[in-house]
Amino acid sequence: MLVKASEKGSRTTNQPRLQKHTVLIMAVTSGTAVANLYYNQPLLAVIQEQFQVSNHVVGFIPTLTQIGYALGILLIVPLGDLLERRRLIICMYFVTALALAALALSSNITWLQITSLIIGITTVVAQLIIPLAAQLAEPHERGKVVGTIMSGLFIGILLARTVSGFVAASFNWRAVYWLASVLMLGSAAILSKSLPKSRSSLQMTYPELMGSLFPLIQQPVLRQAALSGAMSFGAFSAFWSTLVFLLAQPPYHYGSEVTGLFGLVGVAGAIAAPIVGKLADRSSPKRVVGIGLLITTTSFIVFWIFGHQISALIIGVILLDLGVQTTQVSNQARIYSLPVELHSRLNALYVSFYFIGGALGSYLGAYAWSVWKWQGVCIAALIMLAIGFTTFYSKQLID
């Protein structure tokens, strides 16, 4: 089924109106959920030392987590169009809590890799919450609402590294995942009281639901958003999955807690999400996506030329997070202009591509570091961004 994007989109009139405090709760709990994907990045050097494995092997852990997330998005998130979303969201929080506890008990690198993949698959609640918020929001506020939740989500990504680094330095890396498991149980309890129920009029089986995904790929807006977003996030992941190695060597000699502090630096870029959402509501979201790609490219030029100066790293991180956040929020504003009954499936396809790009970026970043060190990481990221620009402006994707 193909549909044409409208400028305003639509809202189901019999759904409850979205309250501001509910949006805030959605933003915070989305952040605590997505943080599970990023706790491992400041811990890689510590895990490498404990299990005595190579950079390449330990660098594959965030790749597996992102591959798992892409799979979970593709296989679980479409159920948001079929099932009652609140119940589905609460169930997934409980399953994720169990997966996090299993990772904390890892006795070898193989078990750690397997549980990292499982955590990626189960940590999909943020991508169930976002379509629910878009469905409940008024059309003229949809970009702002999505931007607010994306801000919480992105701050969760960044603070995950800070929390992870400090908890590991104060206790050990396993304590990070025990804490994360408790946070998932707490989030489930809060959302069970806060989220409104959502009704679905969709009548189909799960195989039919999954089969309905493939015609949606023909949507020009979705194809363009997915490819440009994937390359942007791939560059982002290449940076964050290798930063710990850069900061561990001369001239820095920093540990996991300092690596985690860079997450706080990036919050300055992340809090811009609601502003970006308003801009996408009032202007052309496509134009704002292009601005985001340009800002991200600028950040990697700074990293490449001045990456061994701490002040340049700080400036680059702010630009990187601002650029990726701008691209992400604007892309999602574009796909949510399509009919509301498709939102979970559109989001599933978009975010699956997005995190496949992230997994590719993590892998290429780790490989580039092992061969060419920091310069190689920056080149790999700039190549991905060049592909993002090419796909974004390709008429073949638009027509």
**DSSP state string for 343-369:** HHHHHHHHHHHHHHHHHHHHHHHHHHH
Pair 217, 350: CB distance under 8 Å? no
pLDDT, one tens digit for every residue, the chain (399 residues):
444 444 344 444 455 566 788 889 999 999 999 999 989 988 888 898 889 888 778 878 988 998 898 899 889 988 888 888 889 999 999 999 999 999 999 999 999 999 999 999 999 998 899 888 877 777 777 777 877 888 888 788 878 888 898 899 889 999 999 999 999 999 999 999 888 887 766 778 889 888 888 888 888 888 889 999 999 999 999 998 899 889 888 888 887 677 777 777 777 666 665 666 566 566 666 778 888 899 999 999 999 999 889 999 999 998 998 898 888 888 887 887 777 777 778 878 888 888 889 889 988 998 999 899 999 999 999 999 999 988 766 654 544
Cα–Cα distance measured from residue 347 to residue 324, given in angstroms and rounded to the nearest whole number? 17
Tally of CA atoms within 13 A in the half-sphere of 181 that contains its CB: 15
Q: Looking at domain 20-195+206-398, what is its CATH homologous superfamily?
A: MFS general substrate transporter like domains (1.20.1250.20)
Measured distance between the N- and C-terminal CA atoms of the chain, rounded to whole angstroms? 17
User: At 272, phi and psi to the nearest 5?
Assistant: -80, -5
Q: Where are the domains of the chain?
A: 20-195+206-398
The single-letter code of the amino acid at 114 is I
pTM over 0.85: no
Question: Residue 260, exposed/middle/buried by CB under 10 A (0-12, 13-18, 19+)?
Answer: buried
Question: How many Å apart are CA 385 and CA 230, to the nearest integer?
Answer: 9
Cα(163)–Cα(182) distance, rounded to whole angstroms?
Answer: 14
**Distance, CA of 26 to CA of 55 (rounded, Å):** 36
